[in-house]
């Protein structure tokens, strides 16, 4: 199937995909903990029976059982070397029973490994891992690829790149969302949609983790930004415990009732996940097959994103600032730290500019004495882990730009693409491949334009080539090319004319490098501010500037207010008279996502904290070593360092996480910073005062090989001083209870990610009760709920690592 054929299919009618595979195979004898690929190959009748039932029920597309067929997953069962044969044979089983006129999709999913910098898996290694599986699948032949049950936007990007760099088949990407409407890493459905469709996928969706009722709000978030069809593949409700077994009680009629609402909200492709059956699909098809498909509108979207935030670029919206500070030009101290391999100032600049009201952060690593490409990559890793703002990638080197765009977990802004023939097309192709927006710089190989007509010519040269390569005109922001007024008296007037041309004739936003206008002049801040005020009144959209400049930020806010832009008066009125750093910590208009909104900020949360505690809050592993060693040298009691500095810092991290100001990357960064500090203190604790804390035995239950959440809980508990025994993953109930009784552990912590393994938690509860184990048992994981805790008789439930620490403290009393 070609991509056009797939799009035409979805434009012709509502399309149906299959239902649950795992729960159906369990009905046919597949036990928890076995390698699913091996079991399927040993029992081919089972998968073919399930898939034939789905085709018969009306599914147009059925997924080949290649869900965990990557080298990383197969290696956990010692089967990685047979990857090609496994994937080919799994695809062949589905192809053998696929009726004419129906389709077979390859199924690709997460590896369970965390990507760098949160884990040790490098992005390019993950792309290669997916490519290996894709190539094996293509040897047998499929009609399309479905990348499903994804929790990480960056892992989605890796899978999409692997597929698109290997073939040209249609791609559906489906993520799973937590009850708060975001992924584990803090990505909202609209952000995921914007990023992935800009990379050229053919359908966006969601599956697993919830029933169809809870998906309605998610579809409503996606629909306004979607330029591709929307897929919904919900569970048959939430799992419940009945006679010692996990069951899904939402029947086909109730399931389809809820899915009809998803159709009304904009979904065009339907199926089922955990607990759904061929009967669910049959009812879906019966009720929805005659409904007209939703027409997909290829609407232009002027928006850049990070993994956790969208920043909309509105021609008539509030003025925006691209923070310019992460640029070594003219900054000797910054240059020195970069040459020494330290990125501490990069992170400081990023956080500071976010707090001062920047909307986007420019990252430029152009200087002598460093590897610019590697430093750019390292900086992106650090900045994206520390702040929520989208990035503007600033380099003139095509190879550096591609390396940066490849690992950036969002939709970036390229700075910049000129009419210089040698670089224009390669840079535009990068924008197309990685889904970026770009700044158009009206220059050519001959240098500066000699007049306004030539400037317009350069702008249109870039725009025309962009459209020719498949980009949209609306992907561009035009740099008005500010020259110094001290050398060219009409420099300001030329910029104003360019703003008028771009806004009113081309309908494009504009940007400028603000400080250029005053170069070589005295009292530059007055020239910059006056120029900015006039430019904003003429329609300038944004400037690359230093948000620390109070006069600039206040005057821009005042100009917006006088022009009656949305939210401008409220924004200006909220600006403090003295403490300007709070001026626009949450810019009015133009921003949505994790960083939007008022209330608690990192800056306010850090007020009154020691430097060591702030290092924990901000994830500064380098600086915390220096500060903790200094405290030790000054004779500060190790227990005081822990209680008054490290613990206070991690408490703030937990508070920011609870308030949804922090997500998994910042939580891990803070925990790692604290762990770094703790390791310096541990040798001194033998003589330190303080009662030892409780022992916690923690494990992922038998049959489940996912351990991200469990590892994070273990790390957080260790940082709070608990004696944590991490048994790993896929651990039988008897072994867990053995260890808890051996160590007289106060707490047993259990993790499960899959609905197919969650019942193993009940086995641990039963085992502990039968053997008289006195340990309190707490549970958690993506599929776990408070009601499930009550059903199996566990003592506590936590939805995340921060809550786990609180729960343990409540249960043990300290």
CA-atom Rg of the chain in angstroms: 28
CA distance 396 to 335: 19
Residue 462 · residue 447 · CB < 8 Å: no
CA distance 125 to 130: 9
Tokens of 312: 């909309």
Instruction: Return the HEC string of 191-249.
Output: HHHHHHHHCCCCEEEEECCCCHHHHHHHHHHHCCCCCCCEEEECCCCCCEEECCEEECC
| Residue of 117, 235, 236, 109 whose CA lies nearest to 174 | 109
% helix, strand, coil for the chain, step of 5: 50, 15, 35
Tell me: is residue 208 an annotated ligand-binding position.
yes
Kind and range of the H or E element at 76?
A: none
**Residue 682: other Cβ atoms inside 10 A:** 11
Tokens of 400: 């550096």
Q: Which residues of 120-133 are buried (b: 16+ CB within 10 A; e: fewer)?
A: ebebeebbebbbbb
Residue 337 · residue 344 · CB < 8 Å: yes
Give the length of the chain: 814
Return phi, psi of residue 408, to 5°.
Answer: -75, 120
Which bin fits 305, alpha (ψ -120 to 50), beta or left (φ > 0)? beta
Q: Is 782 exposed, middle or buried (0-12, 13-18, 19+ CB in 10 A)?
A: buried
Kind and range of the H or E element at 286?
A: helix 278-288
CA distance 65 to 44: 11
Pairing of strands 437-441, 476-479: parallel
CA distance 637 to 184: 37
CA distance 340 to 369: 10
Binding-site members for Zn(2+) are 208, 273-274
Binding-site members are 208, 273-274
């Amino acid at each position: 199937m070609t991509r056009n054929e797939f799009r035409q299919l979805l434009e012709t009618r509502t399309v149906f995909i299959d239902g649950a595979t795992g729960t159906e195979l369990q009905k046919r004898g597949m036990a928890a903990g076995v390698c699913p690929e091996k079991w399927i190959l040993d029992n081919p009748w089972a998968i073919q029976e399930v898939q034939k039932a789905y085709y018969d029920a009306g599914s147009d597309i059925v997924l080949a059982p290649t869900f965990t067929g990557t080298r990383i997953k197969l290696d956990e069962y010692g089967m990685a070397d047979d990857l090609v044969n496994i994937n080919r044979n799994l695809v062949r089983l589905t192809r053998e029973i696929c009726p004419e006129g129906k389709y077979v999709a390859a199924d690709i999913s997460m590896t369970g490994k965390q990507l760098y910098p949160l884990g040790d898996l490098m992005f390019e290694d993950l792309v290669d891992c997916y490519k290996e599986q894709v190539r094996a699948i293509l040897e047998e032949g499929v009609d399309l690829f479905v990348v499903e049950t994804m929790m990480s936007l960056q892992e989605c990007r890796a899978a999409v790149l692997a597929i698109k760099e290997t073939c040209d088949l249609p791609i559906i990407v489906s993520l799973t969302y937590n009850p708060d409407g975001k992924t584990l890493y803090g990505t909202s459905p609209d952000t995921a949609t914007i990023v992935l469709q800009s990379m050229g996928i053919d359908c966006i969706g969601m599956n697993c983790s919830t029933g169809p009722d809870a998906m309605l709000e998610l579809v409503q978030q996606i629909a306004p930004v979607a330029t591709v069809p929307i897929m919904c593949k919900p569970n048959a409700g939430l799992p419940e415990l009945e006679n010692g077994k996990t069951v899904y009680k939402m029947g086909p009629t109730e399931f389809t009732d809820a899915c009809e609402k998803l159709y009304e909200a904009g979904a065009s492709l339907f199926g089922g996940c955990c607990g759904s059956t061929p009967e669910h699909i049959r009812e879906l098809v019966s009720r929805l097959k005659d409904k007209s498909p939703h027409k997909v509108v290829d609407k232009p979207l002027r928006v850049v994103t990070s993994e956790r935030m969208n920043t909309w670029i509105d021609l008539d919206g509030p003025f925006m600032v691209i923070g310019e500070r992460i640029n070594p030009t003219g900054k000797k101290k910054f240059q020195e730290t970069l040459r020494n391999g330290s990125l501490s100032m990069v992170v400081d600049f990023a956080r500071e500019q976010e707090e001062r009201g920047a909307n986007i952060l420019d990252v430029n690593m152009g200087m002598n004495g460093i590897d610019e490409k590697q430093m750019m990559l390292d900086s992106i890793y650090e900045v994206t882990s520390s702040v929520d703002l989208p990035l503007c990638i600033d380099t003139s080197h095509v190879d550096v730009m591609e390396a940066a765009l490849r690992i950036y977990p969002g939709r970036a802004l390229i700075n910049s693409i000129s009419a210089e023939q040698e670089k224009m097309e390669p840079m535009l192709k990068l924008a197309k491949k990685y889904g970026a927006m770009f700044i158009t710089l009206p220059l050519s190989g001959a240098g500066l334009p000699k007049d306004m007509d030539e400037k317009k010519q350069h702008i249109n040269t870039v725009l025309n080539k962009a459209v020719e390569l498949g980009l949209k005109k609306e992907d561009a922001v035009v740099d008005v090319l500010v020259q110094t007024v001290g050398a060219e008296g009409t420099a300001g007037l030329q910029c104003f004319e360019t703003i008028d041309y771009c806004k009113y004739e081309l309908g494009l936003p504009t940007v400028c490098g603000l400080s250029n206008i005053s170069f070589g002049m005295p009292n530059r801040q007055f020239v910059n501010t006056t120029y900015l005020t006039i430019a904003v009144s003429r329609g300038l959209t944004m400037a690359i500037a230093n948000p620390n400049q109070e006069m600039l930020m206040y005057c821009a806010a005042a100009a917006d207010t006088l022009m009656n832009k949305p939210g401008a008066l409220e924004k200006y009125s909220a600006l403090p008279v003295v403490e300007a750093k709070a001026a626009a910590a949450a810019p009015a208009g133009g921003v949505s996502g994790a960083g939007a909104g008022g209330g608690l900020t990192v800056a306010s949360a850090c007020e009154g904290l020691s430097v060591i505690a702030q290092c924990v809050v901000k994830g500064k592993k380098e600086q915390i070593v220096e500060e903790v060693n200094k405290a030790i040298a000054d004779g500060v009691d190790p227990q005081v360092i822990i209680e008054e500095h490290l613990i206070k810092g991690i408490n703030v991290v937990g508070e920011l996480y609870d308030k949804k100001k922090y997500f998994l990357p910042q939580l891990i960064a803070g925990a790692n910073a604290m762990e770094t500090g703790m390791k310096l203190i541990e040798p001194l604790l033998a003589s330190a005062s303080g009662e030892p804390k409780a022992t916690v035995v923690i494990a992922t239950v038998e049959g489940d090989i996912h351990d991200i959440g469990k590892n994070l809980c273990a790390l957080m508990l260790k940082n709070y001083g608990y004696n944590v025994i991490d048994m790993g993953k896929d651990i039988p109930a008897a072994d867990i209870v053995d260890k808890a009784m051996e160590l007289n552990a106060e707490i047993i912590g259990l993790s499960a990610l899959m609905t197919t393994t969650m019942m193993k938690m009940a086995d641990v509860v039963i085992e502990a009760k039968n053997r008289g184990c006195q340990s309190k048992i707490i549970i958690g994981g993506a599929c776990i709920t408070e009601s499930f805790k009550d059903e199996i008789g566990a003592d506590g439930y936590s939805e995340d690592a921060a809550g786990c620490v609180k729960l343990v403290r409540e249960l043990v009393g300290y």
